[in-house]
Structure 1
Amino acid sequence: MGAVIIVDALWGDSGKGKVCAHLARRDNVQLAVRAGIGTNAGASVTLDDGTHIRARQLPTGWLNPSTNVAVGPGVLIDPTVFADEVERFGLAGKVFADGRSGIIAPEHVTLDRTDPHLVETVRTTGSGTGPARADLVLRKAQQAKDVPALGEYLTDVPRLVNETASTGTVLVEGSQGTMLSLSLSSDYPFTTSGNCTSAAAMDDVGLSWQRVDDVVMVVKALPTRSGAGPLPFELSTDEVAERAVVEYGVVTGRQRRKAAGIAWELLEYAAMLNGPTQIALTFCDHVDPAVRGVRAFDEISEPVRELIRRVEEVTKAPVTLLDTGPRLGDLIDVPVLAQS
């Protein structure tokens, strides 16, 4: 019983949606709820049959058939994106939204895509989340309760989350990454429009700290960053291609910038901020292609084992999930005896 928060250590795109889907299936959880800013960050999951799932508004926990999903009141809702995902994923009767969530309107998207500072300096995703959040702070934005099309989905999500966590398991899927946090990153203005920590995720969904059982911090073996801002150990586009580790953003389709390794001082800072109890180490096949698709821990190579040891040393938390390839089944549970 209780809540499990899934949070990204660095700049996002680390596989939080994959982790959410895996845990929902493994533990047959009752509810997965989306935290984060809005629709400016996407999640993608590739099933073992090759089906590719892309989402921007709803958490991926619905990939377990008995898991309901919700959007927290601190998360902005784009009614068009919301409706598309409900229909595309067949979630009628299984999805909830909070009437207090702010709304991303068409004018917010237009502003996000035309404002010179946002487009040229920040290199925003153009989803409208920044302008919508600004209007919400100014108390000018609509809320979900003002949109008739959302009426059938509305409930008190914080009450749903806390009551469910008192008798079962709730997954809280964060978005983006700790080092993109508006108030905690040193990279302003190259940040998102809110914070992306475990505490922020709790706030986004109205979760009491007393209901938190675990914080799973997702660490990407070779970090990436979308948009502008510093990226330690950044590889050139030619180097990325030579290593065959090219990635593209879910929302923008832009090629992600890729690092040659983890900035350990930033990872330590992220661990301090988030207080992880577990680590999900993802994209390990980008460090050592020999482990691509490996699904048994005893077949993991020494370079990846060394990375596990270093990550555990820096974060002071055990690596409990290990990602070795693009498919959902490539995310494996690390045996307890193998955890430091």
Structure 2
Amino acid sequence: MTCNILVGGAWGDEGKGKCITYLCNNDKPDIIARAGVGPNAGHSVEFNGEKYGLRLTPSGFVHTGAKLMIGAGVLVNPDVLFKEFEDLKKYNVKERMCVDPRCAIISNDHMERDKSSEHLAKKIGSTGSGCGPANSDRVLRTIDLAQDIPELEGYITDVSLACNETLDEGGDVFIEGSQGFALSLYYGSYPYVTSKDTTASTFAADVGVGPTKVDEVINVFKSYISRVGEGPFPTEMSQKEAEDHGWEEYGVVTGRRRRIGYFDMDLAKESCRINGATQIALTCVDKLYPDCARTQDYSDLSVESKAFIEDIQSATGVPVTIISTGPDLNDTIDLRKELL
């Protein structure tokens, strides 16, 4: 029986999609449960030469033996969900998907309010997906729930009950969070944050699993930092400097160009502390150290890259167990057996 949570370490875009895909494809949990805010965050998944941009479907969908679940704390836009059913048809996502009856539903009105809000759209840099207004209505207790939507009737499942029963029976549950720690409504750079907390504790609550049942918290960091939208960014570089490094990126949901900065050790320390991280997954090492591209053995990494990894471990007190050296799942160094 194991229950693992994966969380973004910074402002999102850390490469969680690849990490989730790798972990679920190798560890093969019985349930992969989506936590987090809702369809305002995108995960990129590359598998068997194809690339997918996901907003609600758990990124571990490539493990076809798992049930896919959306926890009660997640906002659901049925149109987004049904489109992903079509896009992922060959993986039988539709047949494996379960939605908690207590999920709140995003309406067209929520999206319009999001896009037209001077404060959200222009000052904060909202994605316009309706999550902020929907969470506001949820707090006011005026929103529809998944159990009220006829189109979702065939997918309704008590996700908390299913996850806990699976754990009690000796099964494995993988909880994947969206966005990143620094976008937390509580611990992020307020007011330039998302509309709820985005830490591991809340992700566990999103799917209804108590803290005593969580075994590992995997904090994902990119070897450099990126951010979409407004707000403080202590290590930010110019777009010209980012281009010179080959670090030009665009958001999965919005298509907006991401702001780029150097790795922030202070942010990493705070993120690991508040998330209670037990492991770190480090992505895009090949973009910081191109000579490490596609490396699959730790001993083959450069001296500089090993020193960088050791600095992160020393600063945070958390072992770096997963190291991504390229976009393919095989471009991964997995040190869990050696370090845990």
Query: Does structure 1 retain, via aligned residues, the 8 Å contact 2:295–2:332?
Result: no
TM-score by length of 2: 0.96
Matches within 5 A, 1:170-181: 170-181=173-184
Query: Does structure 1 retain, via aligned residues, the 8 Å contact 2:18–2:327?
Result: no
Other-structure match for 1:163: 165
Query: Does structure 2 retain, via aligned residues, the 8 Å contact 1:45–1:328?
Result: no
Other-structure match for 1:19: 19
Other-structure match for 1:265: 266
What is the letter of the counterpart of residue 162 of structure 2? L
Offset from partner CA, 1:279-300 (integer Å, 9 cap, x none): 1011111211111222222221
Query: Does structure 2 retain, via aligned residues, the 8 Å contact 1:45–1:327?
Result: no
Offset from partner CA, 1:19-57 (integer Å, 9 cap, x none): 11111111111110000011110000112x421011000
Shift of 1:334: 2.2
Is 1:198 aligned to 2:200, yes or no? yes
Other-structure match for 2:250: 248
Worse overlay, 15-24 or 120-129: 15-24
Q: Against the structure 1 CA distance between its residues 117 and 64, is the aligned structure 2 distance closer, same or farther, given a 3 Å change threshold? A: same
Other-structure match for 2:190: 188
Matches within 5 A, 1:96-107: 96-107=98-109
Aligned residue among 96, 109, 134 for 1:132? 134
Shift of 1:268: 1.0
Query: Does structure 2 retain, via aligned residues, the 8 Å contact 1:76–1:103?
Result: yes
Note the residue ranges of structure 2 that are not aligned, 5 or more in a row.
Answer: none
Query: Does structure 1 retain, via aligned residues, the 8 Å contact 2:8–2:177?
Result: yes
Shift of 1:89: 1.2
Note the residue ranges of structure 1 that are not aligned, 5 or more in a row.
Answer: none
Shift of 1:123: 0.6
SS of the residue corresponding to residue 19 of structure 1 reads helix
Other-structure match for 1:150: 152
Shift of 1:111: 1.1
Aligned-partner Cα distance in 2 for 1:204–1:100: 10
% identity of equivalent residues: 38
SS of the residue corresponding to residue 215 of structure 2 reads strand
Query: Does structure 1 retain, via aligned residues, the 8 Å contact 2:5–2:175?
Result: yes
Is 1:208 aligned to 2:207, yes or no? no
Other-structure match for 2:63: 64
SS of the residue corresponding to residue 134 of structure 2 reads helix
Worse overlay, 87-96 or 246-255: 87-96
Runs of 4+ in 1 over 3 A off after TM superposition: none
Query: Does structure 1 retain, via aligned residues, the 8 Å contact 2:186–2:197?
Result: yes
Aligned-partner Cα distance in 1 for 2:150–2:210: 30
Other-structure match for 1:8: 8
Offset from partner CA, 1:289-312 (integer Å, 9 cap, x none): 111222222221112111110111
Is 1:223 aligned to 2:225, yes or no? yes
Shift of 1:336: 4.2
Is 1:316 aligned to 2:301, yes or no? no
Aligned-partner Cα distance in 2 for 1:84–1:297: 40
Worse overlay, 274-283 or 327-336: 327-336
Shift of 1:265: 1.7
Shift of 1:328: 2.4
Is 1:76 aligned to 2:75, yes or no? yes
Aligned-partner Cα distance in 1 for 2:336–2:299: 9
Shift of 1:335: 6.2
Shift of 1:64: 1.0
Aligned-partner Cα distance in 2 for 1:239–1:3: 41
What is the letter of the counterpart of residue 175 of structure 1? S
SS of the residue corresponding to residue 54 of structure 1 reads strand
SS of the residue corresponding to residue 13 of structure 1 reads coil
Offset from partner CA, 1:77-117 (integer Å, 9 cap, x none): 00000111122212122110011100000111111111111
Aligned-partner Cα distance in 1 for 2:99–2:331: 31
Offset from partner CA, 1:224-279 (integer Å, 9 cap, x none): 1110011122111111111111111100011111112x222221111110111111
Worse overlay, 174-183 or 80-89: 80-89
Aligned-partner Cα distance in 1 for 2:267–2:297: 30
Aligned-partner Cα distance in 1 for 2:174–2:133: 28
What is the letter of the counterpart of residue 277 of structure 2? P
What is the letter of the counterpart of residue 112 of structure 1? D
Query: Does structure 1 retain, via aligned residues, the 8 Å contact 2:293–2:325?
Result: yes
Aligned-partner Cα distance in 1 for 2:227–2:32: 26
Instruction: Report the number of matched residues.
Output: 336
Offset from partner CA, 1:297-335 (integer Å, 9 cap, x none): 222111211111011112211111001112222233126
Other-structure match for 2:286: 285
What is the letter of the counterpart of residue 211 of structure 1? K
Offset from partner CA, 1:164-215 (integer Å, 9 cap, x none): 1232111100011111110112x21100001111101011111111211101
Aligned-partner Cα distance in 1 for 2:49–2:292: 19
What is the letter of the counterpart of residue 34 of structure 2? R
Matches within 5 A, 1:287-306: 287-306=288-307
Aligned-partner Cα distance in 2 for 1:281–1:15: 9
Aligned-partner Cα distance in 2 for 1:161–1:245: 38
Aligned-partner Cα distance in 2 for 1:246–1:292: 18
Query: Does structure 2 retain, via aligned residues, the 8 Å contact 1:221–1:283?
Result: yes
